[in-house]
Structure 1
Amino acid sequence: MMQEGHLKTLASIYGIATEYRNIRGERIQVPQKTLVALLRAMGVEDFSPEGLHEAIALARAKKSTFDFVIRVLRKRTERLRVPPSFVGGEARISNERGEVVFRSRVTSPVLSVLLPPECPWGYYNLTIASSNGELSSLLILSPVKAYLPPERIWGIHGALFALATERNQGIGDLRDLRDLQDLVVRAGGRFLGLLPLHLMPKDGPQGTSPYSASSRRLFDPIYLPLDEVLSLFPELSLSIPPDPNPSENLINYELIWREKDRFLRKVFQHFFEKRTETFAALWREFQNFLDREKDRVIWASLYQAIASEAGPDWRKWPVPFRERNEKALRDFFQAREQDVLYFAFLEWLMDRFLERITEKHRILCFDIPVGCAPSGIESWLCRERLVFNFTVGAPPDDFSPEGQNWGFHPFSPWKIRENHYADFIALLRDNMRFARFVRLDHIMGLKRLFWIPEGGKPSEGTYVQYPFRELLAILTLESTRHEVILLGEDLGTVPRFLRSALRRSSILSTRVFYFEREGSSPRHPQEYPPKSYATLNTHDMPPLLAFLEGKDVLLRKDLGIFTPEQAAVLLEDRKHFLEECLKKLQEWGFLQEDNSTPQALLFALCRFLAATPSRVVSVSLDDLLESTTQVNLPGTVEEYPNWRYRLPVRWEKLRERLTHLATIFSPKGGRTEYVQNL
């Protein structure tokens, strides 16, 4: 018979929560079958009393060994504990170029490390050689704080795909992004937040969530501006395809990509055929890109070329391709070189255009999702470190009564550590190349993720711990190196210590006006923390106009997510909250009593944001353009057209709105005045 005490002890060693508190503070006991399934995923096989006892001893020994594998250093002088069997050996530390920067005999179980002052923040390899063998450790010399300049920053955020302009092919593209960035910069804004631009599966008319990308290290060529692509090849006579469905309010990713893909293949065919004649200089640029980015791009291009023949889900491929057999992949590349290079060409174009957009102004905020699509490139390349019989989500709460299952598989905290966090470091670097800001979706995932058994309900899941201190050290290190400001999406059920740790590390906490309340009253603007990113709403919430009318609650009621009784309670709560908002905005001097129109309320709320001490403040593009459509309705898949709505862009109106925002957020015209009034 299984001993519950031993089962829980073993689970705790592996960082598996045997109970947790929900959003209301209630203690939730994790089902025993969930603990068993999780431990099986960690490699435990024997659950007899004897087997559990042995597994506990092995897990403790493994954890003790693992403690030496990665070390975080906050200063250049540190004392590191060494396994006793390596006392008497020689220790040496080398930098990322392989140069030895420290040598010492290990004379006791505590090694005193003294790195030269010129050693920069970075990654160092510690090796101890003795008669008992060789022991290696990755040292992460990381600053305590992330990069954070002193000035206050304001801007806007939105979904690039939603931009409906006269010149694009039914989806916002990089030319639209450049035009939008120019408007923001001219108005004085220095922040432009975007939903993820990563490579997405497009094997259906609904596309997929940008938070379930095929690869979070690649950008999606569906955003290529075809007119600007054609300008690179002026002698090529091609007609740019029009918007395939201009009257449609929803994006059809499959149809749009089919037309763009057809056009881009013709361009590449011409480029490839004339590569040594007409386009010698461009071809050299392309080759240099491949030499520099081959590890990231060639594997991904191979995947896409194979998927064109074998299907979009690598889990259903022939075994040699599924298992990444070296000979099979080499043979495929030799037989389909041009097909593979086509996909590399697309990534080169995305890289090229993003570089030109950001070379003068660095104001973009890229969003890094917490996971990747199970059938995609990243999953294929990282499958040894993923746990495929679990998915990630969130426990039931008031926002989603049934809980949430986000559909992607978790990375094993033990295996990413064994791999020296190579995937995580590469992910950060690739997203920081063109960004001034990086937003980390569900930043609690650095500390813990909610694992759900495959095919189970969120109520059957539990939290699994991750090596938070080490992941945080990598974040602050890469932020400092790239001079990128970090925003953490820390909404929902957030452990108090986590927000404290983020604050100490200068990672900005997300503060959303809809949620920042005390009872039915909005929180005073001066109560927002200085190290925060303040906004009215996010892509998972209704725009302001829809919020005022309770459209999000009514929509959930119509879809059966809320019962009529639940909806009635929420609508009544919304009514009281809005009444208090109007009262407080008038009391604090942000809103005139005789003007409570939606537009007046929007700018009053912008004045509210301007009065907060938050380091970064942002208003959504949807609110500026008076949209009433929610980008994403959490907890739905086919019930609601998530990630597909189009936002008609009227540039002149947007220019006027941004000019008005500048008068609110500038030090003279906005924040100082309202802070003094408070």
Structure 2
Amino acid sequence: MNHVPHPSDSALHALAQQAGLQADWEDAAGCAMRVNDDVLRTVLGCLGLPASTAAQVADSHARLRAEADNVTVPALVTGIVGQPIQLVTAPRQRAALEGRPYRIEYEHGGATVESTVGADRDRATLQLAPVPTAGYHRLRIDTGAGSSIDATLAIAPPRCYAVADALHERKRTQDARLWGSSAQLYGLRAAAELAPLSAGLGSYANAGALARSLAQHGADALALSPVHAMFSAEPQRYSPYSPSSRLFLNATMIDPAALFGEHAVRQAIADNGLTDVYTRLEAATLIDWPASATARLTVLRALHRQMREQAAAGNENVKRLREDFRTFCAARGQSLLDHAHYEALDAHVRNRDPHTWHWKQWPAAYQSPSNPAVRAFAHDHAEGVDFHLFLQWAAARQLAAAQRGAEDAGMAIGLIADLAIGTDSAGSHVWSRQQEVLIGVTVGAPPDLFNTHGQNWGLTTFSPRAMRSHGFAAFIEMLRAVMSTPGGVRIDHVLGLMRLWVIPEGASALDGVYLRYPLQDLLRLIALESWRNRCIVIGEDLGTVPGGLRGQLADTGLLGMRILWFEREEAVPGQPFRPPQDWARTSVAMTSTHDLSTLAGWWVGNDLRWQGKLGLLPAGMDEAQAHVQRMADRHALVEAFAHHNHAAEQYGNPPPLHITTLRLALERAGAASAADADIALDATADDFATAATAFTAAAPVPLTVVPLEDLFGLTEQPNLPSTIETHPNWRRRLPGPASAQLDDPAVQARLAVLARQR
């Protein structure tokens, strides 16, 4: 990565820059870095720009120049309501189009705009008059001789739909400070009477029940782990951040009983000989994904077959369901059909060869969704295709019911969906959108203070070049899919809207390069879709954040994330914790995330024990040193609690945080043996979780989110980055039904301080 180029590399670096690659960059510590030339050549090749030889570099340069010279008007142009619209075009096209008449037809009819194309001399671009209405409008520029240029104008509001807008729609005070929780959907437990029907997995129905319970305690939001479609034929792939498609939903999260009733599900379990399996899976502390997913899908397949038979027999209730199903399929169109075809094909090919794990290994005729052989397969396997269409209908129906339940219970926002940064290249999204995604590279993150070897997520995502040439169609489709139901969406690794660390397949995370994305266009499309779907937007802005990005996100109304553990004054000796009143107001305040230690786990050092056991401690630090540092951090955070109490007293308010027991515990732990220190800390973990929750909730931000793990005082975190088999990632279940857990006295105390602080 630190390779210093020779003068002969200048042409390669010029090509890389023109293609959007950032050969020179700064790491998390501010050190200047340069990407190895071999990495540049490989990634350029994956972008369709061969660069292995000097001749190829020259040819790729020429190709990019030709593409730039031939640009007239992009297929989709973004703009802001009430602001002049900039049209980037080639110089010769600019001269030809300046002064030409144009017409804009509004998306929803009504008025049209007619004018002539102007020029912005400062930016060397063409310019259109401001458009006062948000939407996807049709632009037609008259080029003479009966010809024209057509494009889409995506005109966005100045900012995203906000928490204040959601409050306004519900006729509530717009400056109210809301709070909510977050949950790993798969780990939720059903109520006792339905537990035997759950196969050891959470469901969309569980999410609805949890949202209603939280709303009764004053919550306005419930953020969920990603619910993207996974691989039905390979339940071993279960990380919610490595989906098959971000357009569709995880079928294993469907609750069969919520759709068909308890009796039908009990009968299907018995008929398929799964009674003992369901009992074993429900009794387990950790999820057995292959067994649980297979058991649930087996029951759903039986109920789907029964549904088809009953509809054919004339059952009126089932016929109405089938009519709703057909309406859903028609609305989702070809994308849904492609997904169902993929799922059926994947199962078919795996049955013949279990070692086939990627669609590139399928017979050639099946590798393209438009191949007639795929349609022939779908015809011959109609019931299998119908089953996967049915699963998506059932999942969408239940997720929508959960959101309605949250809103009916009084939540201003309701569910907050999680949009993963990419998809598995072997999945249905890539298979169906091969021309619009990056092939041959994976995405990740360069080394930083918390991941010294960098991260390779094994995912791919949209190509920025293809985004522009295809009018951002795939990106818009994805936004609509994830925003259509919930009241909010969290964008994982939102830094990827500006640049992504891309890594050649098979290489280490160290051997990557940043690829630039059209940030301004993407932010405008997000703002437009957020308003159309009445959906607030949160961005995970953690890691190596480019300078100025957070300001641009804030200007667009996209909320950042401020995590308790990271809110420290890095420029001050000892790095004290920052008081909540100084946290960025254009953000969501959070105690922790799924990738970080829980509050109780941090206090007792559970995360350090895991890291020490697995060799994941920071470079140059052993476990004893890590525990010494953690003790210093505990003192620093409790001291921040004390300052917060003092500030409250100065304003005539009682101290909001109870910290006497925490101080005593730290004194005892500092003077005791390791075993006695653990006892002192364990005994006060609940007190710490309550104080830290109140401290975080005091931040003057629109929304505070406290994960269920922190509300319930749990010590284990859902995911430990840089591990796969050595830590039970994405497998932990809650100790009991969430509604019952909320009645625990310690949990009630945290709920009470949340209500007071917000």
TM-score above 0.5: yes
Residue 620 of structure 1 pairs with residue 723 of structure 2: no
Is 1:147 paired with 2:235?
Answer: no
**1:264 partner SS:** helix
Listed as ranges, the gaps of 5+ residues in structure 2 are 1-5, 88-92, 165-173, 351-356, 408-412, 646-655, 663-683
Identical columns (%): 27
The corresponding residue for 2:18 is 13
Q: Does the CA-based 8 Å contact 1:197-1:219 persist in structure 2? A: yes
Q: CA deviation at 1:99?
A: 7.9
Structure 2 CA distance for partners of 1:575 and 1:123, relative to 1, 3 Å: farther
Listed one character per residue, the Cα deviations across residues 114-160 of structure 1 (whole Å, up to 9, x for unaligned) are 4675x433344444443596433332211121111133210111201
Residue number in structure 2 paired with 1:444:
495
Matches within 5 A, 1:271-282: 271-276=307-312, 277-278=314-315, 279-282=318-321
* CA shift digits 1:605-648 (9 cap, x unpaired): 12212221111101111122222222111112223221112221
Counterpart of 1:522, as a letter, is F
TM-score relative to the length of structure 2: 0.83
Q: For residues 621 and 67 of structure 1, what CA distance do their matches in structure 2 show?
A: 52
SS at match of 2:548: helix
Cα distance per residue 1:201-228 (max 9 Å; x no partner):
2555643210111111111121111222
Q: Give ranges in structure 1 of 5+ residues lacking alignment.
A: 672-678
The aligned amino acid for 1:270 is Q
Checking the alignment, whether the CA contact within 8 Å between 2:118 and 2:128 is kept in structure 1 is no
Q: Of 430, 434, 437, which aligns to 1:379?
A: 430
Query: Aligned pair 1:578/2:667, yes or no?
Result: no
Q: How does 1:305-454 map to 2 (within 5 A)?
A: 305-311=344-350, 313-360=358-405, 361=407, 362-454=413-505
Greater displacement, 652-661 / 259-268: 652-661
Given that residues 562 and 589 in structure 2 are in contact (C-alpha distance below 8 angstroms), is that contact kept between their aligned partners in structure 1?
yes
- 1:649 aligned to 718, 736, 740, which one? 736
- The whole-number CA distance in structure 2 between the counterparts of 1:394 and 1:517 is 22
Aligned twin of 2:79: 73
Q: Deviations over 1:467-512 (max 9, x none)?
A: 0000000001111111211101001111131000011111111000
1:59-98 matches, within 5 Å, as 59-63=64-68, 65=70, 68-69=73-74, 70-76=76-82, 78=84, 80-81=86-87, 83-87=94-98, 90-96=101-107
- Cα distance in 2 for partners of 1:155, 1:54 equals 55
Counterparts in 2 of 1:174 and 1:152: CA distance versus 1, 3 Å: same
* Residues in 2 aligned to 1:613 and 1:181: alpha-carbon distance in whole angstroms: 24
Pair 523,235 (structure 1): closer, same or farther in 2 beyond 3 Å: closer
Match of residue 150 from structure 2: 136
Identify if the C-alpha distance between structure 1 residues 238 and 32 changes in structure 2 by more than 3 Å, giving closer, same or farther: closer
Q: Secondary structure at the match of 2:514?
A: strand
Alignment match of 1:533 (pick from 565, 585, 588) = 588
Q: Which moved more, 1:644-653 or 1:251-260?
A: 644-653
* Partner Cα distance (2:628, 2:145) in 1: 74
| Counterpart Cα distance in 2 of 1:112 and 1:373 | 40
| CA shift for structure 1 position 567 | 4.1
Contact 1:200 1:213 in 2 (8 A): yes
Distance in 2 of aligned mates of 1:131 and 1:53: 37
Shift in CA distance, 310/266, structure 1 to aligned 2, threshold 3 Å: same
Contact 1:94 1:102 in 2 (8 A): yes
Letter in 1 for 2:732: Y
Within 2, Cα distance between the matches of 1:265 and 1:368? 28
Asked if 1:259 corresponds to 2:348, the answer is no
Q: Relative to structure 1, is the Cα distance of residues 579 and 115 closer, same or farther in structure 2, using a 3 angstrom cutoff?
A: closer
Q: Tell me, in whole angstroms, the C-alpha distance in 1 between the residues paired with 2:65 and 2:263.
A: 62
1:67 is displaced (CA, Å) by 8.1
Distance in 1 between the 2:374 and 2:337 partners?
A: 11
Given residue 3 of structure 1, which amino acid in structure 2 is its aligned partner?
S
Aligned twin of 1:470 = 521
How many equivalent residue pairs? 668
Q: Secondary structure at the match of 1:246?
A: helix
The counterpart of 2:202, out of the listed 172, 175, 179, is 172
CA distance in 2, matches of 1:65, 1:606: 57
461 and 588 in structure 1: CA distance in 2 versus 1, 3 angstrom threshold: same
Alpha-carbon distance in structure 1 between the residues aligned to 2:238 and 2:269: 29
RMSD between aligned alpha carbons?
2.7
Would the alpha carbon gap of residues 211 and 642 (structure 1) be closer, same or farther in structure 2, given more than 3 Å must change? Answer: same
Whole-Å separation in 1 of the counterparts to 2:39 and 2:32? 16
SS of structure 2 residue aligned to 1:164: coil
2:372 match: secondary structure? helix
SS at match of 1:387: coil
Query: TM-score, normalising length from structure 1?
Result: 0.92
Q: Are the equivalent residues in 1 in contact too, given 2:81–2:158 (CA < 8 A)?
A: no
Q: CA deviation at 1:234?
A: 6.3
